[in-house]
Amino acid sequence: MKLPLISDVYPFSPKLAELYNGWTEGKYFKKIFIAESVQQQIDLINTFLSDHGFKIILPLNAFEQDKVYEEGNFSFHKNLLGYSQIVLVYEQPAGIDPLKEVLKFLDYFRNARDWKKFHTSKNLSMAISSEAGEILDLFVWDRDKNVDEKKIENELADIVTYCLYLADNFNINLFDAIVNKVLQNDERYPIEKAKGTAKKYNEL
């Protein structure tokens, strides 16, 4: 599939980083560039940076003094472990909201197909309920002993996707909403009363 620019959507997950032929280590995205000469490696890097909306350019003399060159959120490491390669390291900008980044990625997919017009709040609510029912169906008649984990993964992905779209319809920050809900539940379910029991708060 065609991917959004890394400058627009940070590949913060290992799976997403793989789509860009890189990998993640904590808040860093890393990608290796291999070519016969340093100039060819630098050319590959600069093409990659340009193609993904970044304004920086790795100069040809970047490694004359040292094997590491740094600029902005990027660092470039030359010939680590003796290989003819340069490793690009991109540090995730501060203040990134992971859920918003996921929504950007989803929007890129949705907008390319002109599907947003179908994602009314009513339709999304119905879709969430429908997908939740499909998860439930996987466990009917005690089938959980042989459940296909890939099916669970797919259904959960659909549910979270629709939840993000629905939250976006109302400008709800789901991360903040989750934190606020946990704080509410902390008051409703004090540890000394709720520990080890599944009773509802009004039954404690």
146-174 exposure pattern, b = at least 16 Cβ within 10 A, e = fewer: eeeeeeeeebeebbbbbbbbbbbeeeeeb
Distance of alpha carbon 7 from alpha carbon 74, whole angstroms: 12
- What CATH number does domain 98-203 carry, 1.10.287.1080, 3.30.450.20, 3.30.70.360, 1.10.10.10? 1.10.287.1080
Question: Which two three-digit tokens encode residue 59?
Answer: 């100069």
Cα angle 39, 45, 47 (rounded to 5 degrees) comes to 105
Question: Which two three-digit tokens encode residue 156?
Answer: 């959960």
Q: Strands, DSSP E only, in 80-149?
A: 85-91
Torsion angle, alpha carbons of 142, 144, 156, 23, to 10: 180
Q: What is the pLDDT of residues 119-149, one digit of tens each?
A: 999 999 999 999 999 999 988 887 667 788 8
Residues sharing a CB contact under 8 Å with residue 188, sequence separation 6 or more, in sequence order = 201
Q: What is the pLDDT of residues 30-82, one digit of tens each?
A: 999 999 888 999 999 999 999 999 999 999 999 988 899 999 999 999 986 66
Supply the pTM of this predicted model: 0.76
pLDDT surpassing 80 at residue 95: no
Q: Residue 71 gets which letter from DSSP?
A: E
3-state secondary structure of 124: helix
Q: Which of 51, 42, 26 is nearest to 88 (CA)?
A: 42
> What are the domain boundaries of the chain?
14-91, 98-203
